[in-house]
Amino acid sequence: MATMKSHAKVVVIGGGVVGCSILFHLAKMGWKDVVLLERSELTSGSSWHAAGVIHTINSDPNIARLQEYTIKLYQEIETLSGQSCGIHRPGGIYLASTPERLDYLKQERAKARYMGLDTEFISLKEARDLNPLIDPEKYLGALFEPVDGHVDPAGVTHAYAKSAQHYGATVYRQTPVVETNPRAGGGWDVVTSNGTIRAEIVINAAGLWAREVGRLAGLELPVQPMEHHYLITEAIPEIEAHGKEIAVTVDYEGNAYTRQEGKGVLLGTYEPHCVPWSVAGTPLNFGHELLPPDLDRFADRLEVAFERMPALGRAGIKNVINGPFTFGPDGNPLIGPVPGMTNYWVAVGVMAGFCQGGGVGRCVAEWMIEGEPSIDVWGMDVARFGEHASFDYGTKRAMENYARRFLISYPNEELPAARPLKTTSLYDRFKARGALFGVNFGLEHALWFAPSQAQAVERPTFRRSDAFPRVAEEVRAVREHVGVIEIANYSKHEIHGPGAAAYMDRLFTNRLPRVGRLVLSPILTPKGKLYGDLTIGRLAEDRFFVFGSGAAQNMHRRWFERHLPEDGVVYRNRTDRLHGLSIAGPKSRELLARLCREDVSGEALRFLDLRRMTVAGVPCLVARISFTGELGYEIYCAPPYQLALFEAIEHAGSDLGLRLFGGRALMSLRLEKSWGVWTLDFRPDFTAAESGLDAFLRFDKPAEFIGKAVALAEKSRGPEKRLVSFVVEADGVDVNRDEPIFHEGACVGYVTSGGFAHYVKKSVALGYVPAGLARSDAIFEIEILGEMRPARIQHRPLFDPNGGRMKG
Ligand SMILES: Cc1cc2nc3c(=O)[nH]c(=O)nc-3n(C[C@H](O)[C@H](O)[C@H](O)COP(=O)(O)OP(=O)(O)OC[C@H]3O[C@@H](n4cnc5c(N)ncnc54)[C@H](O)[C@@H]3O)c2cc1C
């Protein structure tokens, strides 16, 4: 074996499809000093025994786009490397046998329209022409995706590795990594059985061993290998007679995917009684091995499959494969720089490496080399999980996810695995009051309140749910009286020190507030994309609190830490140290006045003031701001005080019509103000000017904020698209997200969020359309569950357009 290099810019740990794709993309994009270390031979994890099926469908449109990219890349690496990838592209059919599944497929088709994919419904007769094994009588509809097919997993992995070497990358086989030790300057010593290599950046792409390799760096990754079966049949006469390859077929209710293998069929299934593999850890000596098959585990699934594809039932079974592959907590990969670590990256939990490996490799390489990926990768970002996402959490969520892989996920559905994990002092109290909970970054928070605990039930649906009338009542209480909502789940970041103001001024686009005041401000990336939409509060000249999306707290923490100067600035994520309640509504001032001795009149505590105050005997931080668009206050306190604060608010508000409200009502209230939210309407796919957040860009402030040059250029040329708010003529179904928007028959944009605005009683959709159409009074159409619904742009907020209520 050649002597190993002593230094590399990047060391990729793991030679499965994911590690090899990352290596390829790094080298192709110009980083030649990149090395891949493989414990054994390439493909020695889950990659070698995959079924190799490739498809584009994914609930996250950006991941779907990356899957399409992956599929289209195979030809390129095959040509470049001379290594066959065994590409078969007979197309794919997705079958529905319930009305709800048909609705789901309509949504997928709708998304495909704006992604520019050629996904279309075909008749069941056409479906049968593409796959003669199916019994059309068993189905209600079929969606056809022309790019789907399958590849040879080993061929693909080797093609990536050879193509990477073609561009100058290095691969060392039989080189297990046994230690990863951080170096003082920020790099890593990667210790292997063949010596040590000093790396500027390490990336853990160790697939089945992601947990073990993470542990070498003190990291607990919430991923879990799951056992997975597929079987291969003997030759089937119907296939022999068909004359061409049958389409890859997914039968959701039958819980089976199939593709042609030789003249027979490969059939895989995601059985509900799933089995996590090696929960205690992947054995270090696990090699090119399979697990003992257990046909009984999915015998009931096979019966359904044989009913729906009778020829399969007649065919002999040639081989049964049971192999492990790794799942993340929500079924999507975990990629990117790990928050809280320096130069340590991951690309793990990739459960569909042959659909996603190319996209993962591209995004990681762009992110490393250019500082940010070319599309929003939130759905795959490792920062969407935090310390709550332990091994245990990973196992429970992976099992839930595996078992539900072919079940429908409804937009109003809250899944139970690994919950409750993080709760506040109000959890039991709210539960007794009929709260139905959602989860945000591991923390339970109330979505809405039923009249009693027994009535706190919400059936999963694409349509208006059981929550609808309750949310309407909560919204009315806020608009007409006063409501209280827990805001423990908002993120709170504290930044202080002599250099804090200069640091903040560079990170944020708005002018910093004066002491005792708040301002709203986006964060931009160097390429001018949105990276945050936050509220800055200034407590002293050198001390700031930043409030924002709880879900994005680790992503923002990573951003804040990445830009910290050597000294002079201290950053802390205080989200779990500050809980709190927000009161909002025309009677909220009166309520606050009853709870404190200070003057809280409009002159003394003005809109956008931030004050340390004692409220009901509790030391609090009070911000006069509310996401409801009402007069309102966010009252933050340390967690041990929160129950007392809540009890005092409830008691003092009893004769003011006070009502508890939850996250759903908040989302409805903000819709009537046309306000977007982070992770939906505001995210790195869009710029400040596109989103309307350019109102918070201060080009004339002395500090050169990140992204300024690009934002200035965009200002002079004008944005390409704009976020607008529509009123939709809905018919009992509101938009959720990702519905296509049509103008004069052409798809011109898509919905980023929406729902029913209860106080104004209108169905609202927020979405991006070409800038030239943003001022249009024309009738647009939005496709909701396959129906074209007329929609008009609402140029001013539906409620209190001048903001008099919140400022008053
Ligand atoms: C039965 C089955 C069917 C599947 N079907 C499909 C399918 O149809 N379509 C699809 O897209 N996906 C499918 N998959 C999933 C697919 O196989 C995985 O998504 C993919 O293999 C993940 O690749 P990876 O590179 O992340 O991990 P792995 O393939 O596990 O690779 C990790 C590599 O890291 C190496 N490594 C580990 N520790 C170290 C160390 N300390 N030092 C150096 N090297 C180390 C390992 O030896 C291994 O080669 C299937 C999986 C199974 C099991």
Mutation pick for ligand 1 pocket among 48, 173, 354 (CB with most ligand atoms within 8 Å): 354
- H helix runs in 133-269, sequence order: 153-166, 210-216, 237-242
Rounded CA-CA distance 363/369 in Å is: 10
Instruction: Tell me the β-bridge partners of 35.
Output: 11, 170
Mutation pick for ligand 1 pocket among 11, 46, 221, 232 (CB with most ligand atoms within 8 Å): 46
Question: pLDDT of 640-693, one tens digit each?
Answer: 999 999 999 999 999 999 999 999 999 999 999 999 999 999 999 999 999 999
C-alpha distances in angstroms, 633 versus 110, 216, 580, 806? Answer: 40, 46, 10, 10
Q: Per-residue confidence at 156, pLDDT binned at 50, 70, 90? A: very high
H or E element at residue 58:
none
Query: Under 8 Å CB-to-CB from 314, ≥6 apart: which residues?
Result: 236
* pLDDT of 50 above 60: yes
Query: Under 8 Å CB-to-CB from 385, ≥6 apart: which residues?
Result: 222, 329, 334, 554
Output the CA angle 263-269-272, nearest 5 degrees. Answer: 165
Burial degree of 354 (CB within 10 A; 0-12, 13-18, 19+)? buried
Report residue 284: phi and psi, to 5°: -65, -25
Mutation pick for ligand 1 pocket among 42, 47, 277 (CB with most ligand atoms within 8 Å): 47
Provide the 3-class DSSP secondary structure of residue 104.
Answer: helix
Contact by Cβ (8 Å): 130, 143:
no
Contact by Cβ (8 Å): 330, 1:
no
Please, how many CA atoms are within 13 Å of residue 111, restricted to the half-sphere of its CB?
22
Question: pLDDT of 355-369, one tens digit each?
Answer: 999 999 999 999 999
Burial degree of 71 (CB within 10 A; 0-12, 13-18, 19+)? buried
Q: Per-residue confidence at 1, pLDDT binned at 50, 70, 90? A: low
Question: pLDDT of 719-732, one tens digit each?
Answer: 999 999 999 999 99
* Nearest of 287, 289, 282, 286 to residue 209 by alpha carbon: 282
Q: How far is the CA of 228 from the centre of ligand 1 (A)?
A: 12
The mean pLDDT of 534-548, rounded to a whole number, is: 98
* Nearest of 255, 235, 254 to residue 246 by alpha carbon: 235
Provide the 3-class DSSP secondary structure of residue 23.
Answer: helix
Rounded CA-CA distance 446/467 in Å is: 12
Q: Per-residue confidence at 114, pLDDT binned at 50, 70, 90? A: confident
Pairing of strands 618-623, 746-757: unpaired
CA dihedral 282, 161, 115, 86 (to 10 degrees): -90
Query: Under 8 Å CB-to-CB from 76, ≥6 apart: which residues?
Result: 163
- Mean pLDDT (the chain) is 96
Rounded CA-CA distance 657/597 in Å is: 22
Question: pLDDT of 709-720, one tens digit each?
Answer: 999 999 999 999
Give the end-to-end CA distance of the chain in Å, rounded to a whole number: 76
Residue nearest to atom 22 of ligand 1 (CA): 353
Mutation pick for ligand 1 pocket among 209, 326, 382 (CB with most ligand atoms within 8 Å): 209
Pocket of ligand 1 (CB under 6 A): 13-19, 37-40, 44-47, 49-53, 176-177, 205-209, 213, 228, 230, 321, 323-325, 350-355
Question: pLDDT of 491-511, one tens digit each?
Answer: 999 999 999 999 999 999 999
Q: What is the pLDDT of residue 113?
A: 86
Residue nearest to atom 33 of ligand 1 (CA): 14
Closest atom of ligand 1 to CA, residue 18 = 25
- Lookup result for tokens 């009853």: 594
The mean pLDDT of 422-437, rounded to a whole number, is: 98
Rounded CA-CA distance 697/608 in Å is: 18
Q: How far is the CA of 786 from the centre of ligand 1 (A)?
A: 37
| Residue environment code for 381-412, b if the CB has 16+ CB neighbours within 10 A, otherwise e | bbbbbbeebbbebbbbbbbbbbbbbbebebeb
The mean pLDDT of 476-489, rounded to a whole number, is: 98
Q: What is the reported pTM?
A: 0.97
Provide the 3-class DSSP secondary structure of residue 493.
Answer: strand
